[in-house]
Structure 1
Amino acid sequence: MNAERVPLVEVTFRNMDPSPAVEDKVRAQIEKLGQFHDHIMACRVVVEAGHRHHHKGNLYHVRIDLTVPNGELVASREPSGHHAHEDVYVAVRDAFDAMRRQLQDRLRKQRGRVKHHETPPHGVVREIAPMSDYGLIETPDGREIRFTSKSVVDYDFARLEVGDRVWFTEVDSDDGPAASTVHVEGKHHIVG
Structure 2
Amino acid sequence: MKIPLQITYNHLEKDPAIDKLVRAKVEKIEQFCNYMNSCRVTLEKVHENPDSGSPYRVQIDMTVPPSHELVVDRSPDRGVQYTPLDVVVRDAFDAARRQLQELKERQRNEVKRHPDQQMVAVVSELHPDENYGFLKTINTGRELYFNRQSSDQFDRLEVGTGVQYREVPGEGDRPYAISLKIVNKPGERETKSDESNIEAPMGWR
Under a length normalisation based on structure 2, what TM-score does the superposition of the two structures give? 0.50
In 2, the alpha carbon distance for the partners of 1:35 and 1:48 equals 27
SS in 2 for 1:39: coil
Query: Cα deviations across residues 53-98 of structure 1 (Å, max 9, x unaligned)?
Result: 3378962110000111121110111221143662111000000000
1:103 to 2:118 alignment? no
In 1, the alpha carbon distance for the partners of 2:69 and 2:52 equals 35
Q: Could you tell me which residue of structure 2 aligns to residue 45 of structure 1?
A: 41
Q: Which amino acid aligns with 2:24?
A: A
Which stretch shifts more, 80-89 or 7-16? 80-89
Q: CA deviation at 1:30?
A: 0.4
In 1, the alpha carbon distance for the partners of 2:7 and 2:88 equals 14
> Is 2:54–2:77's contact at 8 Å kept on the other side of the alignment?
no
Query: Cα deviations across residues 141-160 of structure 1 (Å, max 9, x unaligned)?
Result: xxxxxxxxxxxxxxxxxxxx
Q: Which runs of 4+ in 1 moved over 6 A?
A: none
Query: Cα deviations across residues 31-61 of structure 1 (Å, max 9, x unaligned)?
Result: 0111221101111000111222337896211
Under a length normalisation based on structure 1, what TM-score does the superposition of the two structures give? 0.53
| Structure 2, unpaired ranges of 5+ | 111-195
1:22 to 2:15 alignment? no
SS in 2 for 1:35: helix
> Is 1:84–1:91's contact at 8 Å kept on the other side of the alignment?
no
Q: Name the CA shift for 1:85/1:65 in 2 (closer, same or farther; >3 Å).
A: farther
In 1, the alpha carbon distance for the partners of 2:10 and 2:201 equals 26
In 2, the alpha carbon distance for the partners of 1:101 and 1:33 equals 10
Count of matched residue positions in the alignment of Structure 1 and Structure 2: 118
In 2, the alpha carbon distance for the partners of 1:111 and 1:83 equals 39
Q: Name the CA shift for 1:98/1:84 in 2 (closer, same or farther; >3 Å).
A: farther
Q: Name the CA shift for 1:85/1:93 in 2 (closer, same or farther; >3 Å).
A: farther
Q: Could you tell me which residue of structure 1 aligns to residue 89 of structure 2?
A: 92
- TM-align CA RMSD: 3.1
Pick the structure with greater CA Rg: 2
| Structure 1, unpaired ranges of 5+ | 114-166, 169-178, 185-192
Q: Name the CA shift for 1:84/1:37 in 2 (closer, same or farther; >3 Å).
A: farther
1:7 to 2:3 alignment? yes
* RCO comparison, higher one (Cα < 8 Å, 6+): 2
Q: Name the CA shift for 1:32/1:14 in 2 (closer, same or farther; >3 Å).
A: same
